[in-house]
């Protein structure tokens, strides 16, 4: 859906934009899409780097944490999207309403700014991971050498800006679909291919991994993974922008409180449920595949690669058993996985930066032309900043894990904001049922516990 004309502005609700919601899965399929962008973002740095590193550290013992991490946060994501569909507002506009305030800014948005700063490291690690994979495939001089990595980092930044500068929703969704399709096939191949290598796993390994226990010394890594894998605070936040740009809120219409509006809102919220469910299936299976890779291959050898060695170590397991062609396939998959995160993150973070400036009244968020200009500005600036962070620091694993811990902390603020907005601005007639309410409570409690641990860790208080 293009957003070039004022009449089609997805952030402006009018009676002319109203559309009746589809009924059933078949009719709803053509209206899915925001979840694909979220899946493209999720299955990336957290899965290929952090989750694999955790599997290398803990073995199969934390397999259950992967499933918990990808599942437990979905209810919060859906509830915030419910508020967005009913009000036509994106997340940071809502976050800014949560008291207390510090001058022009609410405390949640102030914390978001800290998150955005930490994401410079995490998304710099993503750029570094793609550059490393490209350097291994097509090196300029020595593979993974400084010259080769620098050239590929610059090329990647320039290419990303050129492809995404238009910021059209339809382009972003189609690109996410292609990348998700590629890495979904490859990650399934990875998971099912390991039993045919010397690093085979069996059903006993899987069953042991589903036992609810955390090995000594692995708590910190597990918390970082909880913050990164599945829908994190950033994906929960920017999912609302893609729901708006797909049209869910505009098709629902202005919230006039009428019975017709309630019916439409419930209908489009059901479509959003389906969208979130498909997204969950995709990123859960991909996450499991990468965790199993680390647990089955790296853990038995006592390997915990750091920096650019992660890709080399993972690709070698296929070279040694299946031949050079398998390494090439793996590296192409790594580019698709990490590249998909970059593809989704640049436009998502650009929108969030403009929105927070709008809440500070530094830009006119409600003016579509102004919003588009500033979004394109950040589409250029953000990848440059992230790329420079990678070239200076040069350790994707550490960079990704730092961002993951901050994401876990910000999840606490997201939970508070979701409950506040639910209570103050969501019509009770469009609430989820009792089962969903119970899931939302469980999800919120789990996130709060992890956030408390992350805060304690930031002050040097660790629980092993």
pLDDT at 295 over 90: no
pLDDT digits (tens, 9 = 90+) for 117-128: 888 887 887 888
pLDDT at 282 over 80: yes
- Picking from 306, 236, 308, 293, the residue whose alpha carbon sits closest to that of residue 82 is 236
Q: What's the length of the chain?
A: 464
DSSP 21: P
86, two tokens: 């009913």
Cα(217)–Cα(305) distance, integer angstroms: 17
Domains belonging to the chain, first-starting first, are: 26-458 (1.20.1740.10)
Higher-confidence residue of 153 and 459: namely: 153
H helix intervals, 138-168: 146-164
Listed range (288-302, 406-420, 437-451) with the worst mean pLDDT: 288-302
The span from the first CA to the last CA of the chain, in angstroms, equals: 49
Give the global pTM: 0.87
- Give the pLDDT of residue 400: 59
pLDDT digits (tens, 9 = 90+) for 306-341: 655 666 666 655 555 556 666 677 777 778 777 888
Percent of the chain residues topping a pLDDT of 90: 46
Residue 185: CB atoms within 10 A of its CB come to: 12
Higher-confidence residue of 149 and 185: namely: 149
Query: What's the average model confidence in pLDDT over 11-35?
Result: 94
- Give the pLDDT of residue 159: 94
Query: What's the average model confidence in pLDDT over 457-464?
Result: 57
Query: What's the average model confidence in pLDDT over 127-156?
Result: 89
């Amino acid at each position: 859906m293009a957003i070039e004309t004022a009449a089609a502005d997805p952030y402006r609700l009018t009676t002319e934009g109203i559309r009746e919601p589809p009924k059933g899965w078949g009719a709803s399929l053509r209206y899915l899409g925001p979840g694909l962008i979220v899946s493209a973002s999720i299955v990336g740095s957290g899965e290929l780097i952090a989750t694999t590193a955790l599997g290398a550290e803990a073995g199969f013992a934390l397999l259950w944490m992967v499933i918990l991490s990808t599942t437990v946060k979905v209810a919060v994501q859906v509830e915030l999207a419910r508020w967005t569909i009913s009000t036509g507002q994106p997340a940071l506009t809502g976050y800014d309403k949560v008291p207390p305030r510090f001058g022009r800014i609410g405390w949640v948005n102030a914390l978001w700014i800290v998150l955005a700063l930490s994401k410079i490291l995490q998304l710099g690690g993503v750029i570094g991971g793609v550059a490393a994979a490209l350097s291994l495939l097509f090196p300029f001089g020595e593979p993974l050498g400084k010259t080769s990595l620098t050239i590929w980092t610059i090329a990647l930044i320039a290419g990303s800006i050129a492809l995404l500068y238009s910021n059209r929703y339809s382009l972003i969704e189609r690109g996410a679909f292609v990348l998700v399709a590629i890495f979904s096939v490859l990650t399934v191949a990875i998971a099912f291919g390991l039993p045919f290598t010397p690093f085979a796993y069996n059903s006993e390994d899987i069953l042991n991994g589903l036992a609810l226990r955390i090995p000594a010394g692995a708590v910190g890594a597990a918390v970082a993974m909880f913050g990164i894998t599945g829908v994190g605070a950033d994906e929960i936040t920017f999912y609302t922008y893609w729901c708006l740009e797909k049209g869910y809120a505009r098709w629902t219409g202005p919230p006039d409180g009428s019975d017709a509006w309630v019916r439409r809102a419930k209908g489009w919220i059901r479509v959003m449920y389906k969208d979130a469910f498909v997204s969950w299936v995709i990123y859960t299976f991909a996450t499991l595949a990468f965790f199993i890779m680390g647990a089955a291959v790296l853990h038995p050898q006592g390997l915990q690669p750091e920096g650019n060695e992660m890709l080399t170590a993972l690709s070698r397991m296929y070279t040694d058993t299946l031949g050079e062609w398998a390494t090439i396939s793996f590296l192409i998959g790594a580019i698709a996985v990490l590249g998909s995160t970059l593809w989704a993150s640049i436009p998502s973070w650009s929108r969030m930066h403009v929105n927070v400036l709008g809440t500070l009244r530094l830009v006119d968020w409600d003016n579509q032309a102004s919003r588009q200009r500033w979004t394109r500005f950040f589409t250029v600036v953000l990848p440059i900043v992230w790329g420079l962070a990678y070239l200076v620091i040069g350790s994707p694993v550490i960079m990704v894990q730092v961002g993951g811990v901050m994401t876990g902390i910000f999840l606490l603020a997201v939970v508070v904001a979701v409950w506040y907005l639910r209570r103050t601005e969501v019509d009770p007639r469009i609430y989820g049922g009792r089962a969903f309410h119970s899931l939302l409570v469980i999800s919120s409690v789990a996130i709060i516990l992890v956030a408390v641990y992350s805060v304690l860790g930031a002050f040097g208080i660790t629980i092993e």
